[in-house]
Amino acid sequence: STLMKLLMRLYDPTEGAIFVDGIDIREMDLSNLRDNIGVIEQEIFLFSKTIRENIAYGKPIASHEEIEAAAKLAQAHDFILSFEEGYDTVVGERGVTLSGGQKQRIAIARALLVDPTILVLDDASSAIDAETERKIQTAIANVLKNRTTFIITHRLATIKNADLIIVLRDGILMDSGTHSGLIQRNIDYRRLFERFSELPPMKKMEGN
């Protein structure tokens, strides 16, 4: 989470630099940088407005067709239509009338509609049923297409297919690589993965 705050320049690093497309982000216009970064936070905030307005928050001029297309990609369209008022359903303050999985899919639809160049997904690890988990994973897969995405998560199914996985412990970079490489050599990553799968326990390895 600290790395993502540095990326968005909520504060600057005391050492080193972060580059986007070869440019130090401290040399970029701050508003332009942030306009190109979309964030789906762990604690999802929804306004006490309609579902349509919540999805279109970052792009208020969006057409209904654009909003509906984003909701379909986010696996939210079907549950929205299950409400009597559909997209015009008013959600309670902070989305209290929606389940955790529904709120997450609304947030994903919002990000898809804005279509940022860089997306930060602070992946909530709340308890959800298997069907909702499947729908959220499908929605996340749609978000990842054609953009740079940072995912902060303990649910490793979310990042198994990532180009690069970074393993941090207490703010220290422990390892990085692909899922297949890390699962073979890094005991911390392996143990974390074992908590959410049927993978057999890892044999003790010297040097780890």
Q: Could you tell me if 179 and 98 lie in one domain? A: no
Q: Could you tell me if 185 and 90 lie in one domain? A: no
User: pLDDT tens for residues 107-148?
Assistant: 889 988 988 899 888 865 454 666 777 777 777 777 777 888
Query: How far is the C-alpha of 42 from the C-alpha of 87, rounded, in Å?
Result: 23
**Quick one: the chain helix, strand, coil %, rounded to 5?**
45, 15, 40
Whole-structure pTM value = 0.76
Q: Could you tell me if 73 and 146 lie in one domain? A: yes
What is the number of other CB atoms lying within 10 angstroms of the CB of residue 100?
Answer: 15
Whether the Cβ atoms of residue 70 and residue 27 lie closer than 8 Å to each other: no
Among candidate residues 56, 52, 40, the one with its CA nearest the CA of residue 91: 52
Q: Share the mean pLDDT of the chain.
A: 84
- Kindly state the percentage of the chain with pLDDT values over 90: 36
Domain containing 208 equals 160-208
Question: Is 159 in a helix, a strand, or coil?
Answer: coil
Q: Could you tell me if 143 and 84 lie in one domain? A: yes
